[in-house]
Structure 1
Amino acid sequence: MGTRQRNNKAKFNANRLLPACIAALLAGGFDAPALAGSAQQTFDIPAQPMDSALTELADRAGLRLLYQAGAVGALRSRPVSGRHTPEQALKIMLADSGLTYRKTAGGAITVAQAVGRDETEKGNEATTLKPMTVTGVADYDSTDPFNPDYNRTMASTATKTDTPIMETPLSIQVVPKAVIDDQQAIRVGDALKNVSGYFDSRGEEFVYDTAYLRGFDTDSRQYIDGLRDLPQSHSLAGIERVEVLKGPAGALYGRLEPGGLINYVTKRPLDTPYYSLQQQFGSFDLYRTLGDATGPITQDGNLLYRVTMEYLSSHSFVDVVSKERGFIAPSLTWKISPQTQLDVDFRYHDVNGPTTFGLPAVGNRPANVPISRFMGEPGDDGDSSLLYGGMSLTHAFSDHWKLNAKVGYNYENQESGGTFIDSLNEQTGDASRFYSFYDYFEDSIQGLINLTGKFDTYGLKHTLTAGGDIYHTHGRTGKSYFLCEACGTSFPAPINIYQPIVYGRPGIDPATETAGGGSNTETFWWGLYVQDQVTILDDWHLMFGTRYDQATNNSSWGNPTDDGEFSPRVGLLYRPMNWLSLYANYVRAMNAANVNRVSPGTQVKPEMSEGYEAGLKGDWWNGRLTANLTFYELTKKNISQPHSDPKLAAQGFSVFAGEGRSQGIEFDISGRMTENWSLIGTYSLTNTEFTQDSTGIEGNQFANVPTHAGSLWSKYDFGGFGWQGLWTGAGVFIADQRQGDRANSFQLPGYARLDAALGYSFHAGPSKVSLQFNVDNLLDKRYYTSSTWETRAYGIQPGVPRTFLGSVRVEF
């Protein structure tokens, strides 16, 4: 059996030293002292074959490790993440493996099988080793399907590197799969409600996922695995975790709204076979089937696959509304060599169901009508289908330099027809209605290349990131109808909102109308970025970088734009103690293009933003519990507004005179208080104001943003009492009063919603069976989530009433 020496810098004869070390070990002649280089370092070593894990640890910590190749054989290491001394890292890596370590007189570290009582009783050649207790050890790899942890210590979205969150001078929150599963989240908003500063903007809407972050509407342009996505209603079936980067993210990603970036990290193929089938059933005839299968295709494990799927069918608490969603996502991973990996992904997603245009406002509150009342027609419907195909190539030139290249293609088709209120007599409740239909196509192609390298200069440790990306999208409308009484066309029959709606009365007749259409929008941009993360004296972490974007936008209905801007970012973090980090940052970024019509001689400028942020981060029990407290100020400038000249405004001309500001405090905490008690909680104080405006709303608050909001979800596992597999959870979600529109003419009342859950898991042969029952809005509170279109006539989205959801899941 061969002997292995790990550390390229070691210059000694391992074959002569190893027998002496083993002899000393068997004689029980010395205990394990602290390893050389006892200062804490940051580690991120995933679970892997023990041989390669020891190699990586030796390289990073500068250790001389000796062991017999047969001793580690087919063993797998524990993952090591966070700040540890080399000794702590080695203990964590070897936990539960049956291996132990000793330091020799020559300064090398030997790793060997622990010698137990049986050997001692057979002879006096061996003595029993002292018991080794490892605290705060992560029991699961971050991608393990059985991982129950409510937090993550690493998130790549903020920096595009493997920097721990505790060493990142930015605010980033992660919602892992365990939280999504325990709360039985179905929509993206169900998961994001666990992030401070997030506020819903679509209610029960299944067409788009949009969000408010730090007061600003992020729109529906979100990210999957670091690539910009087309607007859609995402399925959580293929999502491993959701990462939310707060504040302007233009330094690495280009054009985004200043509130932040939402990135969905997908489930990747695993080298250990795993299969799961889940059936959910609940209120309003909801049936949802989920499937997940992954594992190696080839015997050597170099080719892996994964397939995730979802089928959902449900009615709604809203009259005559139903929805259906289908999703499938196969993916392949090819480990071409130890240094090179190719990932191939495909997604198909189809959503059917009407757009729920919600309720109107009467006075300063939502209309006092049943929340089940649908103001449209049964014939209203929508169908959105999306195809995605993409590849990602990763190559490690060495242990310190890595290249990642991605390319992706999206194609989307939406057909949507909806009826909603055009004008309302708030005294009588009489309303005329409007019918809209469009057939829309959009495709996009995008690519990025990212190089990351680690090196030292003059005692400073650098992590350099440089790269570029391109993005091209083309959207076009095939045909469209806009039918209303004021348009002089056929129109939906009028209603009275206070009376039960009589559906199906004669009204619209598209066959007699001339379809519109032919609108075209094309966007192209490219960007280059560079970022350096510098570690100074181990405790100081400086991050600085910038990005340059050149973006064009051409639209058949607006002003063509050609914008070029730099988006710089700088941040500094100080970690005076292992459990505490203090940080601050400044960011300036380019946001959306101003494509509205402008009068001759007006300079076309893109929206811009800048942000200041300072905060504290806490990490206890080796990352078992983490927290983040943030103070921030964001300002968005060059907001498009109607021209101050009424005649020009009536012709659709705009000026770029608007400015809005958001200031606030955010607090997030997640993880395990004890081995059996997990929680995730948030609080946000958000003050918003239009600081400059030409339409008379200066000083008003933003719509849909409560001043105070918070949440707390807690789960307790009764395994400590001997009731293995039994757990219960409960949560409260609170929002203050919010403005319903920019004019602040009406308000959505505040609310507190209580949810609860009960679960039980057991093993049946090789399978794990999980039974679960959730109740959302346990007290059946009537509340409103948002005013989607920020208008009085329609768009106020009621929250779901008391809802029951059961689940049976089998995993093996």
Structure 2
Amino acid sequence: MHTGPAAVHLHLDGQYKGAIASAPRTVLGSAVAAAVLISAQGAFAAQPAPIQNKAEGPSQESIALPAITVTGRMDTATTEGTGSYTTGETAAATRLPLSLKETPQAVTVITRQRMDDQQLNSVQSVLENTTGVASYQSDSERTSFYSRGFLINNVQYDGIPTVVGNIVNGSGIGSIDTAFYDRVEVVRGGSGLLTGTGNPSAAINLVRKRATRDFSAAASLGAGSWDTYRGMGDISTPLTEDGRIRARLVGTYQDGHSYLDGYKPERKSFYGIIEADLTPDTTVSLGYDYQDITPKGSTWGGLPLWFSDGTQAEYSRSKNYAQDWSYWDNTLKTAFAEIEHRFDNGWKVRGVFNQYRTEFDAELLGVVGRPDRITGLGTYPHGAYPVALASQGHSRQNTFDVMASGPFEWLGRQHELVVGATRSRRTASQQDIAPFYAGFLPVNVYDLRPAYPRPDFGAMAWIPTRTRIKQSGVYSAARFSLADPLKLIVGGRFSSYEIDDAVGSSSLHYKKSSEFTPYAGLIYDIDTTYSAYVSYTGIFNPQTDYRDSNGNVLTPAKGKTKEIGLKGEYLDKRLNASVAVFETELDNAAQIVAGTYTPGGAQAYKGADGTKSRGIELDLQGELARGWNIYAGIAHFRAKDGDGIRLNSQIPRTTAQLFTTYQLPGDWSKLTLGGGVKWQSRFYQAPNTGTSSLGGEQGSYALVSLMGRYSITKQTNVAVNVNNVFDKKYALQKGDFDTVGYGAPRNVMATLSYGY
């Protein structure tokens, strides 16, 4: 196991007979001129050169120096600069630094190299290429992510839980730029040990890049389909000669058009961090990141799926009824401070303060209804009509986390322990104009006319919402070495949760104290290559975003996840493989009540007991051979509520991923070629369920991608990425509010990169 500090030993063998004390400086100087052999594991073994005093002639006896141990910190979790598709360790599941083979849960790590190879420039593109994660894109700005049948609402920045999504804007992280991050860690299943609350889906941990002691710089310029342009700059530099104080700046800018008519996404982002070693064992970090997402012509929902005669409509992928005044702006700001102290006995203490701020402002227009198949119009109440809404707001979340971890001895064996506490407070304020019919003149769905002018939102009644959420928790996990091949991880968390929520003139208060969430995992090392594990995680998920038909907030969902798996570590840990079988049981899970609304006009939900999800996941990540990287995975689940009704049928039950790159050998070594495929099974909306009255279905489909990269010089390369090579037409969603929205056709991106 990698536990942070790595000891490098320099051994000078021979006989030591006290000559060191009386030897001249020239003798000592020539003694350290040793031939150093680097072993495959990175340890240093040195054989001394013969020691000779020139004044006395050839030495009759060899003089040996005692072993010298040089200790320094070695980070095997960082992926930047490794060229790898896997990592040496992760603490995403338990806060204990463990290899993937030692972690008793299904974990996928999307490394910096893979993000660069595939041009995965947003968190959405990362998650859409991750085993066991399915996306559901309602429109141009809202994408929700699911795992094992449940919505992903657990997001962390450097291990610190952050609220970034709700039922309105999905998982809330799709548009975040990935240029700031060294890697994205996805732990599937329950994660209550670290997050306190959340669904038994997955936890997403965004791990930031850090400042380096040596100067480095990188830049890239990209151009692609629909006049898409992207620029990125990344500079890390020491601020003192010894690198004790260092800084890093990263910035991106991306804009252009889209395959959707009139839609123009734009994204600007900035990240800065300063780190200082106050002592050799104490490091302080201060950082700030800013992301400004300002699309124009944003869509709200799709286009009408059903004609009035009960047949389905079909559109070109570019069709879009959003107007030039439509927009959905989001600004995300994070400031953080961190201090870490490392003790000589292997223990460390870390304290983190994180402030996360959001601002959003949206004015949107969609079209719903059942137009006439012949004319594309219709006569009221039939036909397709524009629907508008507006929303604006802001939020702030302050989080403080303190943690201590390290080894301890008990009963003659060494074990590891982590203890910590987290406290957060989130306040949010927003005001909304509820969706309303913008006019009674039908829209022709064939040419999407007439255009609709911007309503006078300022003259309308806005509904205010104010929310305050306080969470706190203490957690601990211990990894016991029961025997050389057998390890037991046990832990738990006591969480407290309190919310005050006011919508218009109504308000509510909910509080839950000392809720215990257990965690347990047993890992058996079959040999140096394989390990088997079983794990158990508890689930506690407040559902304050969901209200019943009376307007009351649903009580928390509770449950458990059981998992059993086999993991393998190959090629000197450069390749990791895993297979996991899981079962999740959840009571009081929020389910949409079709056609039922709260007194305020929002969608109503109910708590469903007996929800179960079962499935299997396989994952392969790393290097098959020198220069040959691969990522592959397949996941399948079945999920039903207590009445036997399919849970979240709008997401596919089976997904598969494959992407690989190969650097050609010999004279062709400047060229790297790659390609991949994503496949998913069908999904559907059943009639009169959820938000659909007539339903809709998308069959299974596969998307193929290709890439090629050529190294012009050692520092400069040019790459070309092609997505959806065979120009497959497919629906992102089909049936949501009886509408349909399509995915992007074939597209190309060329990128010129420089790194020093």
TM-score range (shorter-chain normalised) is 0.7 to 0.9
Query: Aligned partner of 2:196: which letter?
Result: G
Identity of aligned residues (%): 22
TM-score, normalised to structure 1's length? 0.79
Query: Aligned partner of 1:283: which letter?
Result: S
- Does residue 517 of structure 1 match 2:451? no
- Which position in structure 1 is the counterpart of 2:724? 777
Which of 293, 300, 303 is equivalent to 1:359? 303
Using a 3 Å threshold, how does the CA distance of structure 1 residues 427 and 158 change in structure 2: closer, same or farther?
Answer: same
- Which position in structure 2 is the counterpart of 1:382? 328
Query: Aligned partner of 1:332: which letter?
Result: I
- Which position in structure 2 is the counterpart of 1:467? 420
Which of 476, 493, 501 is equivalent to 1:530? 476
- Does residue 716 of structure 1 match 2:662? yes
Report 1:513-662 matches (<5 A). Answer: 513-557=459-503, 559-564=508-513, 565-594=515-544, 596=546, 605-640=555-590, 655-662=606-613
Using a 3 Å threshold, how does the CA distance of structure 1 residues 495 and 411 change in structure 2: closer, same or farther?
Answer: same
Query: Aligned partner of 2:305: which letter?
Result: A
- Which position in structure 2 is the counterpart of 1:793? 738
Query: Aligned partner of 2:444: which letter?
Result: N
**Displacement, 1:535?**
1.6
- Which position in structure 2 is the counterpart of 1:158? 93
- Which position in structure 2 is the counterpart of 1:53? 8
Using a 3 Å threshold, how does the CA distance of structure 1 residues 705 and 711 change in structure 2: closer, same or farther?
Answer: same
Mapped partners of 2:180, 2:434: distance in 1: 37
Using a 3 Å threshold, how does the CA distance of structure 1 residues 302 and 432 change in structure 2: closer, same or farther?
Answer: same
Mapped partners of 1:187, 1:154: distance in 2: 24
Gaps of 5+ in 2: 13-19, 21-26, 52-57, 61-73, 165-171, 377-382
- Which position in structure 1 is the counterpart of 2:66? none
Query: Aligned partner of 1:147: which letter?
Result: T
Query: Aligned partner of 1:197: which letter?
Result: G
Cα deviation 1:95-120 (Å, max 9, x = unaligned)? xxxx634xxxxxxxxx65799xxxxx
**Displacement, 1:683?**
0.5
Cα deviation 1:7-41 (Å, max 9, x = unaligned)? xxxxxxxxxxxxxxxxxxxxxxxxxxxxxxxxxxx
TM-score, normalised to structure 2's length? 0.85
Cα deviation 1:38-66 (Å, max 9, x = unaligned)? xxxx345678xxxx6339x99xxxxxxx9
Query: Aligned partner of 2:751: which letter?
Result: S
Mapped partners of 1:164, 1:803: distance in 2: 37
- Which position in structure 1 is the counterpart of 2:624? 673
- Which position in structure 1 is the counterpart of 2:118? 183
Mapped partners of 1:792, 1:545: distance in 2: 43
Higher strand share: 2
- Which position in structure 2 is the counterpart of 1:167? 102
Report 1:452-491 matches (<5 A). Answer: 452-477=405-430, 479-482=431-434, 484-485=436-437, 490-491=438-439
Which of 182, 189, 205 is equivalent to 1:247? 189
- Which position in structure 1 is the counterpart of 2:176? 234
**Displacement, 1:152?**
1.3
- Does residue 211 of structure 1 match 2:145? yes
- Does residue 685 of structure 1 match 2:636? yes
**Displacement, 1:251?**
1.5
- Which position in structure 2 is the counterpart of 1:704? 650
- Which position in structure 2 is the counterpart of 1:451? 404
SS class of match (2:101): helix
Mapped partners of 2:372, 2:538: distance in 1: 44
- Which position in structure 1 is the counterpart of 2:702? 752
- Which position in structure 1 is the counterpart of 2:448? 501
Paired residues of 2:133 and 2:146 also in contact (CA < 8 A): yes
Mapped partners of 1:681, 1:657: distance in 2: 35
Using a 3 Å threshold, how does the CA distance of structure 1 residues 366 and 215 change in structure 2: closer, same or farther?
Answer: farther
Query: Aligned partner of 1:181: which letter?
Result: D
- Which position in structure 2 is the counterpart of 1:440? 393
SS class of match (2:568): strand
Mapped partners of 1:774, 1:531: distance in 2: 43
Report 1:70-219 matches (<5 A). Answer: 91-94=40-43, 100-101=45-46, 112=48, 143=78, 145-202=80-137, 205=140, 207=141, 210-219=144-153
- Does residue 329 of structure 1 match 2:271? yes
Gaps of 5+ in 1: 1-41, 59-65, 79-89, 102-110, 116-122, 126-138, 693-697
Higher helix share: 1
Mapped partners of 1:74, 1:502: distance in 2: 82
Paired residues of 1:566 and 1:589 also in contact (CA < 8 A): no
Query: Aligned partner of 2:190: which letter?
Result: P
SS class of match (2:273): strand
SS class of match (1:146): coil
**Displacement, 1:502?**
2.6
**Displacement, 1:181?**
0.5
Paired residues of 1:553 and 1:595 also in contact (CA < 8 A): no
- Which position in structure 1 is the counterpart of 2:672? 727
Aligned length: 695
Root mean square deviation of aligned Cα: 3.5
**Displacement, 1:605?**
2.7
Mapped partners of 2:747, 2:719: distance in 1: 14
**Displacement, 1:639?**
2.3
Relative to structure 2, which stretch is displaced further, 234-243 or 152-161? Answer: 152-161
Using a 3 Å threshold, how does the CA distance of structure 1 residues 450 and 523 change in structure 2: closer, same or farther?
Answer: same
Cα deviation 1:664-699 (Å, max 9, x = unaligned)? 11001011111132110010111121224xxxxx42
Mapped partners of 1:269, 1:805: distance in 2: 29
- Which position in structure 2 is the counterpart of 1:105? none
- Which position in structure 2 is the counterpart of 1:27? none
SS class of match (2:217): strand
Paired residues of 1:391 and 1:408 also in contact (CA < 8 A): yes
Which of 186, 201, 212 is equivalent to 1:270? 212
Using a 3 Å threshold, how does the CA distance of structure 1 residues 758 and 77 change in structure 2: closer, same or farther?
Answer: farther
Paired residues of 1:361 and 1:367 also in contact (CA < 8 A): yes
- Which position in structure 1 is the counterpart of 2:17? none
Mapped partners of 1:297, 1:648: distance in 2: 57
Using a 3 Å threshold, how does the CA distance of structure 1 residues 502 and 248 change in structure 2: closer, same or farther?
Answer: same
- Which position in structure 2 is the counterpart of 1:225? 158
**Displacement, 1:724?**
2.2
SS class of match (2:737): coil
Using a 3 Å threshold, how does the CA distance of structure 1 residues 463 and 671 change in structure 2: closer, same or farther?
Answer: same
**Displacement, 1:472?**
0.9
Paired residues of 1:686 and 1:706 also in contact (CA < 8 A): no
Mapped partners of 2:721, 2:596: distance in 1: 54
Mapped partners of 1:649, 1:518: distance in 2: 15
Report 1:299-318 matches (<5 A). Answer: 299-318=241-260
Query: Aligned partner of 1:793: which letter?
Result: D
**Displacement, 1:468?**
0.8
Using a 3 Å threshold, how does the CA distance of structure 1 residues 760 and 76 change in structure 2: closer, same or farther?
Answer: farther
